[in-house]
Amino acid sequence: MTETLAFTQEPHASPVAVADRQAQLANPGFGRVFTDHMALVHYSEAEGWHDAKITPRVEFRVDPACAVLHYAQEIFEGLKAYRTPDGGAQLFRADANARRFRQSARRLAMAELPEGIFLDSIRQLVRTDRDWIPDSPDGALYLRPFMIASETFLGVKPSSEYLYIVIASSVGAYFKGGAPAVTLWVSENYTRAAPGGTGDAKCGGNYAASLAAQSEAIKQGCDQVVFLDAVERKWIEELGGMNIFFVFDDGTLQTPPLTGTILPGVTRDSILTLGRAQGLTVREELYSFDQWKADAASGRLVESFACGTAAVITPIGTVKHSGGEFTIGSGGPGQLTGALRKTLVDIQRGVTPDPHGWTEKLF
């Protein structure tokens, strides 16, 4: 699907002043600084995809009976535009996000956005708001495409109308202070996704369902929750909003397989490819919480890390659970984790050549 639409440009009449923007870019944190514009496309059963525009980022009105407010028919994506050393900017694997957005739409019974429209909306928004791309080492323009069911109707059925929107946020590191290693809380009371459910779709509902467990993690002094599978409550699945990897003392890299309950992360997939390209043994295999604990104690497991577009690659130092806690390796950033992170980030930022054809230079 490569169908596309012409985007009308509606420039902001009073964009954020240069000095104010620079002040916001100095320390953006994550998800609080927004650019001047957004992309917007409408869908209706009668007209299909139509009325595509880049327009000022403003509040918008929805009817209180708008379907998404009641039945959560909503999906989203996360990808970044990176500042390149020559002062330009590039995208990383935006085509993979476009593809996953369609897969998520299918699972949530929503209209599938043609990949060409998704990609053009991203390209045009980044070009329009190019001055908002930070040039700090951890900084990027985080793009958040999302789609909501916009029909005004309380019947439980797929909406006949949708709004597709892309907003952009200037960001730094996801974890406060660019945490050298994060602490996880193993959720025993809650699960994230069941077989046949929406675990492999990127829908807001999955994240809503993770929040009680994430709150528990915060109460326990941890940064993130890690979920076990819903059937046996045994196998490690993923974090609240990131995939997970394990590194063993023989250099093997392992991550849980995509069984339908795990989000198929673009960063996860990129790490698997980078690992294989470096000649590492790479496994997509189930790994139990008990084994994780035992391997951390015996020293067979030397590193673990979380990965995602927002988190990039973040080392996991300590794991807490109802029965105690254990430390992974030295409790700080591991060697292979650091090397993989550098390889990935250098490609994303155009510091080294991209042998996999993952990047698209925008200007």
**Interface with ligand COI (CB under 6 A):** 78, 241, 308-310
Strands (E), 221-293: 224-228, 236-239, 243-248, 253-255, 282-284
The residues near 246 (Cβ < 8 Å, ≥ 6 apart) are 253, 254, 255, 287, 292, 295, 301, 303, 304
Nearer to ligand COI, 75 or 236 (CB): 75
Please list the residues that pair with 42 across neighbouring strands: 50, 163
Distance of CA 84 to the CA centre of its chain: 21
Nearer to ligand COI, 35 or 309 (CB): 309
CB neighbour burial string for 100-122, b if at least 16 within 10 angstroms, e if fewer? bbbebbebbebbebbbebbbbbb
* C-alpha torsion 208→212→216→222, nearest 10: 0
**Token pair for 312:** 């990039």
CB of 9 to ligand COI, least distance (A): 27
CB of 273 to ligand COI, least distance (A): 18
Provide the H-helix boundaries in 67-220.
68-71, 94-107, 115-128, 204-219
What does the alpha-carbon distance between residue 78 and residue 94 come to, in Å, rounded to a whole number? 9
Nearer to ligand COI, 7 or 164 (CB): 164
The 3-state DSSP class for residue 142 equals: strand
Nearer to ligand COI, 161 or 223 (CB): 223
Rg of the Cα atoms in the chain: 21
Nearer to ligand COI, 15 or 145 (CB): 145
Nearer to ligand COI, 54 or 79 (CB): 79
CB of 324 to ligand COI, least distance (A): 27
Burial class (CB within 10 angstroms; exposed 0-12, middle 13-18, buried 19+) of 340:
buried
CB of 171 to ligand COI, least distance (A): 9
Q: Contact 284/257 with Cβ under 8 angstroms?
A: yes
Nearer to ligand COI, 55 or 304 (CB): 304
Distance of CA 184 to the CA centre of its chain: 18
CB of 54 to ligand COI, least distance (A): 22
CB of 80 to ligand COI, least distance (A): 8
Q: Which single residue is written with the structure tokens 């996360």?
A: 78
Number of residues assigned to the chain: 363
CB of 308 to ligand COI, least distance (A): 3
Residue nearest to ligand COI (CB): 78
CB of 202 to ligand COI, least distance (A): 7
Nearer to ligand COI, 124 or 309 (CB): 309
